[in-house]
């Protein structure tokens, strides 16, 4: 189908919104115009004229000449209201809000079907890496076995600098916040929640699994110290926050956790704010996608690609999701999650009481000192959920 001129209503003019504005203006092939930009803060100074902006969402949602609503805001509740209203009005939507998408996916999927509209969200996963579209199109008939990925640029940036500069987490985090690589409240990133939302979206397109965030383990890097980095370096390893989605027999293992990575892995050399997604299929073997996982222009370019796709009336086919639902009518996909396996981990802690809820099968290595204790142990995976999203815990856990 031929391309057409497209009118946009944009929600949000922060980092990604401004990046979209820039790359759209530099685009040579796409005929798209931002008709109006809806923002929240009336006092904030912006680089465009005031008449380009509105503070009332209905100034966009009730317009009849808007072809696509582009949602790029941080408020997940408001984002869901905007996206769902637009779809109910028969308007196609592009979104980069991975938390909103992951928490409301079942309803959003239903709205797409009921209103015959497209909801495209490449920019929500992996920044500039076109992983969703590839899973939808290139791998649509592939029997995928695993997706292993570095999906949070903030965490990878912090881990890289800790290793290369020999500094502790707190020092690097403060610097990252000052330079714009980390949020003022970094919890969403450093706890692994952000990566979890992304792997849930990948799981829909890779395996047809529609899961809820609370069903997936996420352990982050918020408790890491330089001693942990040093331990890895001494053994020729690097620590990376990995998201994993794997099919083991007729079950699936999907989780987020720091990992020791050796030099044989292509993920070893993914540094700073770069992301990477390693896809392994029964026929295609391993393939690696890399690119900047965050930032104004990289994410803006992904959003622009989604807008461009809509000029060709593109929509996700959800072939694997529809097939799964047809073959498993009424059953809960969470029942296919395997959380009862044993795994080997590095656990650093201050005292034994901190890890009393960890179900240890066997200990391979143990170290004790006045300030630092660690074990290399095989543990029951399910017991790791005791440390998931626990802001009081000071324990650092890394899969070996």
Measured between alpha carbons, how far is 144 from 152 in angstroms, rounded to an integer? 22
If 0-12 CB within 10 Å is exposed, 13-18 middle and 19+ buried, where does residue 99 land? buried
Count, residues in the chain? 400
Could you identify the residue written with the tokens 């920044």?
127
Measured between alpha carbons, how far is 173 from 290 in angstroms, rounded to an integer? 24
Identify the bridge partners of residue 378 per DSSP, sorted by sequence position: 344, 362
Going by the DSSP 8-state scheme, the letter that residue 215 receives in this structure is G
Q: Which of 103, 198, 247, 320 is catalytic?
A: 198
Cβ(126)–Cβ(151) under 8 Å? yes
The terminus-to-terminus CA distance of the chain in angstroms comes to 50
Number of Cβ within 10 Å of residue 56's Cβ equals 10
Number of Cβ within 10 Å of residue 263's Cβ equals 10
- Three-state secondary structure call for residue 370: coil
If 0-12 CB within 10 Å is exposed, 13-18 middle and 19+ buried, where does residue 100 land? buried
Tell me the torsion sign for CA atoms 76, 133, 200, 87: positive
Cβ(185)–Cβ(216) under 8 Å? no
Instruction: Examine the residue annotation and report whether 198 is marked as an active-site residue of this protein.
Output: yes
Pairing state of beta strands 68-71 and 92-95?
Answer: parallel
Residues annotated catalytic, as ranges: 198
């Amino acid at each position: 189908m031929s391309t057409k001129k497209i009118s946009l209503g944009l929600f949000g003019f922060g980092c990604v919104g401004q990046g979209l504005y820039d790359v759209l203006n530099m685009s040579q092939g796409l005929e798209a115009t931002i008709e109006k930009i809806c923002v929240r803060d009336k006092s904030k100074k912006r680089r465009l004229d005031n008449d380009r902006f509105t503070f009332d969402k209905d100034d966009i949602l009730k317009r009849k000449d808007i072809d696509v609503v582009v949602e790029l805001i941080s408020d997940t509740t408001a984002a869901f209201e905007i996206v769902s209203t637009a779809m109910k009005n028969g308007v196609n939507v592009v979104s980069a809000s991975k938390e909103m998408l992951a928490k409301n996916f079942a309803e959003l999927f239903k709205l797409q079907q009921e209103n015959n509209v497209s909801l495209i969200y490449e920019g929500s996963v992996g920044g500039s890496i076109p992983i969703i579209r590839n899973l939808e199109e290139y791998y649509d008939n592939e029997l995928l076995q695993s997706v292993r990925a570095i999906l949070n640029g903030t965490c990878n940036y912090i881990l890289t600098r800790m290793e290369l500069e020999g500094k502790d987490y707190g020092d690097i985090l403060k610097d990252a916040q000052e330079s714009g690589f980390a949020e003022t409240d970094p919890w969403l990133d450093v706890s692994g929640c952000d990566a979890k939302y992304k792997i849930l979206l990948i799981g829909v397109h890779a395996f047809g699994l529609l899961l809820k965030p609370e069903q997936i383990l996420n352990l982050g890097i918020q408790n890491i110290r330089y001693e942990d980095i040093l331990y890895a370096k001494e053994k020729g390893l690097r620590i990376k926050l990995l998201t994993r989605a794997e099919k083991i027999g007729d079950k699936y293992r999907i989780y987020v956790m720091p990992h020791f990575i050796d030099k044989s892995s292509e993920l070893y050399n993914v540094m700073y704010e770069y992301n990477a997604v390693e896809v392994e299929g029964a026929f295609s073997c391993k393939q690696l996608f890399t690119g900047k996982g965050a930032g104004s222009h990289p994410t803006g370019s992904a959003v622009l690609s989604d807008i461009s796709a809509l000029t060709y009336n593109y929509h996700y086919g959800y072939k694997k999701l529809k097939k799964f639902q047809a073959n498993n009518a009424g059953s809960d996909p969470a029942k296919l999650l395997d959380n009862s396996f044993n795994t080997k981990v590095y656990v650093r802690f201050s005292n034994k009481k901190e890890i009393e809820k960890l179900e240890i099968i066997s200990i391979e290595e143990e170290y004790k000192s006045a300030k630092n204790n660690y074990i290399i142990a095989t543990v029951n995976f399910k017991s790791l959920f005791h440390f998931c999203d626990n802001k009081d815990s000071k324990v650092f856990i890394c899969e070996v």
